[in-house]
């Protein structure tokens, strides 16, 4: 073992823990990941000048810098940004047409004054909505409808917040935009992984969504008192909004149906579903210029919804490429400890799922992209097996986590102390991780 | 630009609103509002008010007093005072958590009483801090009483059919009836000349005066019969 590589590996591991600490402290992630990209690229270049590594073979300093700071964000943009922008546009349409709000009101009327049943129905419809929608804007738009309903039913605010955020997390397991986002990490880590598509993932995505939702609802129900509280509260919102027509409701799942059943490209799916929603809700009226203005506004509102996320994702793309240059040093340190069988890898992922919280090392939209590079470097894992494992340790912890922008917003909105919320969110994320890792082994373990 | 109304003017107008209008205002905030026909709502409001008053009389008879604090003590209720809790635009004034916990938010009460100080003496007299506090406590005591008599009390036994499928029928209670009953209960117990629902506006005012005015206009809209909400098919 080369001493220089070991020393560099230790420095990188230390900086990695520094990043985890930085994430936990809640500092700006975009800046943090950019600084880490600079740091790891510099350390890797220094290391390569001492003891050349295979990943930098034949590359000049300019090539490395280009790969990290130019190609990384560029490739990410090509694969992701467009989908995210159109997904956000679609989300805005669902909000503006009142379709999402109508669906929520309808399920509430199905459940009535039965807090547990109505909460479950609200969680189911929220999860379905978030298989297509994404971004903090749509989350807030739905939250300001769902959370007051739950509170008015006497559901304690920590449980209302947890069950709502948990059901978004469940929906994200089936979310096509999130899939594309994470899949880009895999395509970067190993070119052969680029062919893995949403249709192949879909079966697991739906199972993961159902399992997560069930676990969230069980935890929420167990956390509730047998008898529900009664509150005297006042609100200026009378909730007399006009309902969107029933035919328009299907637009919520049209993008997913389009991709899975008709093999449509996702951007077309989003545009078609958005137009369907607008037509069926009678919003394409008032002349061409007026409709153009409305569409333009919805697109720009959607873009604003996801803008902070885009900045972070672009910095993350740099870090992701920098991590490929760091992987030889991680492999030197951790390669011997990496599991080599499907069962062991599933067990390791199940046990380490909590490390996906706080943007930790198991989280792809945290510091996990370096681990992905190491895992990919140690063995030729089939992507059908590896992707769901990382999806589990990314989606479940991340979307329940206090570092998630909309969860942080939820604390401010409901005044729920983070500690109260985390008592439910962390065990839930872990339980979901254990169950889903077992399912991955059963479904895809034979591919290894 | 619309000129913001003064609290005193709003209070004066709200004191004229009748119980049925307050009941309809309460229904307008209910998740099942659109599932109930207007005639049925009127009937339910009357019954819920009667129920609240009846149980207030029973309590007065049983404990020989209208002192809500003493009654709370005799019922072994645990009374806690908290600061304000605002979730978005929803301001919480008080909460009853079974089996025996009542939380009252002190801040909105204190702020409302301070604001009222600047109004005419007759209004100041009606809304002193202790009066508001007792009104809220009485309201929450009713929810405790409801729990004791949930098999027979009107506000818990009245139900509407939400849907039926293959012979299975899903009925639901109506949360608003509990609130209307609680208001009537505390009004009776505290011998108030006005509906305690008025506190929705008064207590809200110090947090967001324009939203409080929106509540006020909703109440007046219902009161004057201008507010006609859509009702679904049955």
On whether the CB atoms of residues B89 and B211 are closer than 8 A, the answer is yes
Q: At what angle do helices A383-398 and A342-352 cross, to 10 degrees?
A: 10
Q: Which residue of B has its CA nearest to A104?
A: B31
Question: Looking at residues A66-75, what average pLDDT do you find?
Answer: 90
- Residue B228 is predicted with a pLDDT of 45
Per the prediction, chain A carries an average pLDDT of 89
Pairwise pLDDT comparison (A293 vs A79), residue with the higher score: A293
- Residues contacting residue A293 through CB under 8 Å, at least 6 positions apart: none
* B 13-72 → A contacts, CB under 8 A: 28-29, 31-35
- Residue A319 is predicted with a pLDDT of 85
Question: Interface of chain A against chain B, CB under 8 Å?
Answer: 105, 108-114, 118, 144, 147-149, 151-153, 157, 225-240, 242, 413-415
On whether the CB atoms of residues A441 and A342 are closer than 8 A, the answer is yes
Q: Which residue of A has its CA nearest to B143?
A: A230
Q: Which residue of B has its CA nearest to A114?
A: B172
- Residues contacting residue A22 through CB under 8 Å, at least 6 positions apart: A32
A and B: number of Cβ contacts within 8 A: 120
**Host H or E run for residue B171:** strand B168-173
How far apart are the C-alpha atoms of B181 and B206, rounded to whole Å?
A: 26
- Residue B226 is predicted with a pLDDT of 47
How far apart are the C-alpha atoms of A308 and A217, rounded to whole Å?
A: 30
- Residue B234 is predicted with a pLDDT of 39
How big is chain A by its Cα radius of gyration, in Å?
22
ipTM of this predicted complex? 0.92
How far apart are the C-alpha atoms of A2 and B190, rounded to whole Å?
A: 84
Q: Are the beta carbons of A413 and B229 separated by less than 8 Å? A: no
Q: Are the beta carbons of B32 and A242 separated by less than 8 Å? A: no
A116-120, A249-253, A307-311, B20-24: range with lowest mean pLDDT:
A307-311
Of B90, B163, B203, the CB nearest to A151: B90
Q: Are the beta carbons of A230 and B218 separated by less than 8 Å? A: no
Q: Which tens digits make up the pLDDT trace of A251-307?
A: 999 998 998 899 998 889 999 999 999 999 999 888 899 999 999 998 888 888 778
> A230: distance to nearest CA of chain B, Å?
5
Q: Are the beta carbons of B88 and A413 separated by less than 8 Å? A: yes
Q: Residue with structure tokens 């109506």?
A: B174
- Residue A327 is predicted with a pLDDT of 80
- Residue A53 is predicted with a pLDDT of 87
- Residue A239 is predicted with a pLDDT of 62
Of A113, A232, A237, the CB nearest to B89: A237
Q: Which residue of B has its CA nearest to A240?
A: B229
Question: Looking at residues A204-225, what average pLDDT do you find?
Answer: 96
* B 98-117 → A contacts, CB under 8 A: 98-99
Q: For chain B, give the number of residues.
A: 234
Bond preceding residue B219 cis, omega within 30 of 0: no
Is the torsion defined by CA of B86, B214, A111, A204 positive or negative?
A: negative
> B143: distance to nearest CA of chain A, Å?
7
How far apart are the C-alpha atoms of A380 and A222, rounded to whole Å?
A: 42
A153 contacts on B by Cβ (under 8 Å): 31, 175
* B 131-190 → A contacts, CB under 8 A: 136, 139-140, 143, 147, 160, 162-163, 170-175, 178-179, 182
Q: Are the beta carbons of B33 and A108 separated by less than 8 Å? A: no
CB-CB neighbours of A74 under 10 Å: 13
- Residue B231 is predicted with a pLDDT of 46
Q: Which residue of A has its CA nearest to B28?
A: A238
B83 contacts on A by Cβ (under 8 Å): none
B173 contacts on A by Cβ (under 8 Å): 112-113
- Residue B227 is predicted with a pLDDT of 47
A147 contacts on B by Cβ (under 8 Å): 87-88
On whether the CB atoms of residues A315 and A30 are closer than 8 A, the answer is yes
- Residues contacting residue B21 through CB under 8 Å, at least 6 positions apart: B219, B222, B223
Predicted confidence band of residue A24 (pLDDT cuts 50, 70, 90) = low
* B 191-210 → A contacts, CB under 8 A: 200-201, 203-204, 208
Among B88, B132, B135, B221, which would you mutate to test the A interface (most chain A Cβ atoms within 10 Å of its Cβ)? B88
Of B147, B211, B229, the CB nearest to A236: B211
Of A113, A232, A415, the CB nearest to B32: A113
Q: For residue B98, give the 3-state DSSP assignment.
A: coil
Q: Which tens digits make up the pLDDT trace of B48-70?
A: 999 999 999 999 999 999 999 99
B214 contacts on A by Cβ (under 8 Å): 236
Burial of residue A380 (CB within 10 Å: 0-12, 13-18, 19+) is exposed
Q: Which residue of A has its CA nearest to B182?
A: A232
């Amino acid at each position: 073992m080369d001493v220089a590589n070991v020393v560099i590996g230790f420095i990188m591991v230390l900086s990695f823990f520094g990043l985890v600490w930085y994430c936990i402290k809640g500092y700006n992630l975009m800046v943090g990941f950019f600084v880490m990209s600079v740091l790891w690229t510099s350390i890797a270049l220094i290391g390569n000048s001492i003891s050349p590594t295979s990943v930098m073979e034949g590359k000049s300093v300019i090539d490395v810098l280009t790969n990290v700071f130019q190609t990384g964000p560029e490739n990410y943009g090509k694969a992701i940004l467009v989908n995210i922008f159109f997904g956000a546009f679609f989300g805005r349409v669902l909000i503006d047409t009142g379709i999402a709000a109508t669906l929520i009101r309808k399920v509430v009327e199905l459940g009535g004054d039965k807090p547990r049943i109505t909460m479950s129905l609200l969680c189911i419809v929220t999860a379905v909505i978030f298989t297509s929608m994404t971004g903090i804007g749509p989350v807030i738009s739905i939250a300001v409808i769902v959370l007051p309903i739950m509170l008015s039913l006497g559901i304690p605010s920590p449980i209302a917040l947890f069950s709502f955020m948990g059901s978004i997390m469940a929906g994200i397991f089936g979310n096509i935009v999130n899939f594309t986002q994470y899949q880009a990490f895999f395509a970067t880590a190993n070119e052969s992984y680029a062919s893995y598509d949403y249709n192949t993932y879909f079966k697991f995505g739906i199972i993961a969504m159902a399992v997560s939702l069930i676990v969230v609802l069980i935890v929420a129900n167990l956390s509730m008192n047998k008898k529900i509280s009664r509150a005297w509260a006042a609100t200026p919102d009378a909730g007399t909004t006009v309902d969107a027509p029933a035919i328009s409701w299907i637009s919520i799942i049209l993008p997913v149906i389009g991709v899975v059943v008709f093999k449509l490209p996702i951007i077309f799916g989003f545009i078609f579903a958005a137009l369907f929603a607008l037509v069926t809700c009678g919003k394409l009226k008032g002349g061409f210029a007026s409709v153009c203005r409305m569409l333009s506004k919805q697109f720009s509102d959607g873009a604003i919804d996801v803008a902070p996320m885009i900045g972070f994702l672009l910095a993350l793309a740099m870090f992701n490429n920098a991590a490929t240059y760091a992987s030889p040093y991680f492999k030197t340190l951790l390669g011997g400890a990496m599991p080599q069988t499907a069962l062991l890898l599933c067990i390791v992922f199940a046990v380490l799922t909590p490390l996906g919280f706080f943007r930790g090392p198991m989280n792809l939209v945290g510091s996990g992209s370096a681990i992905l590079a190491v895992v990919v470097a140690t063995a030729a894992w089939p992507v059908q097996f590896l992707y769901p494992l990382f999806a589990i340790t990314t989606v479940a912890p991340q979307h329940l986590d206090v570092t998630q922008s909309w969860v942080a917003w939820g604390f401010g909105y409901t005044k729920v102390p983070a500690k109260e919320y985390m008592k439910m969110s962390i065990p839930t994320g872990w339980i979901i991780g254990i169950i889903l890792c077992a399912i991955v082994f059963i479904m895809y373990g034979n591919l290894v | 630009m619309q000129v913001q109304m003064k609290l005193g003017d709003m209070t004066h107008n709200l004191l004229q609103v009748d119980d049925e209008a307050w009941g309809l205002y309460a229904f307008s905030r209910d998740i099942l509002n659109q599932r109930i026909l207007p005639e049925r709502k009127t009937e339910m409001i009357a019954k819920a008010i009667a129920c609240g008053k009846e149980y207030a009389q029973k309590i007065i008879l049983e404990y020989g007093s209208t002192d809500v604090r003493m009654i709370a003590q005799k019922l072994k209720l645990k009374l806690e005072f908290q600061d304000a809790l605002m979730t978005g635009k929803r301001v919480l004034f008080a909460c009853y958590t079974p089996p025996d916990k009542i939380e009252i938010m002190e801040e909105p009460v204190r702020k409302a009483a301070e604001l009222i100080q600047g109004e005419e003496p007759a209004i100041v007299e009606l809304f002193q801090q202790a009066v508001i506090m007792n009104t809220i406590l009485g309201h929450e005591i009713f929810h405790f009483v409801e729990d004791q008599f949930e098999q027979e009390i009107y506000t818990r036994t009245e139900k509407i059919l939400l849907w039926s499928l293959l012979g299975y029928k899903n009925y639901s209670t109506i949360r608003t009836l509990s609130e209307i009953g609680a208001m009537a209960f505390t009004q009776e117990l505290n011998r108030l000349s006005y509906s305690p629902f008025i506190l929705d506006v008064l207590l809200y005012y110090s947090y967001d005066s324009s939203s409080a005015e929106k509540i006020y206009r909703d109440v007046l809209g219902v009161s004057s019969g201008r507010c006609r909400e859509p009702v679904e098919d049955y």
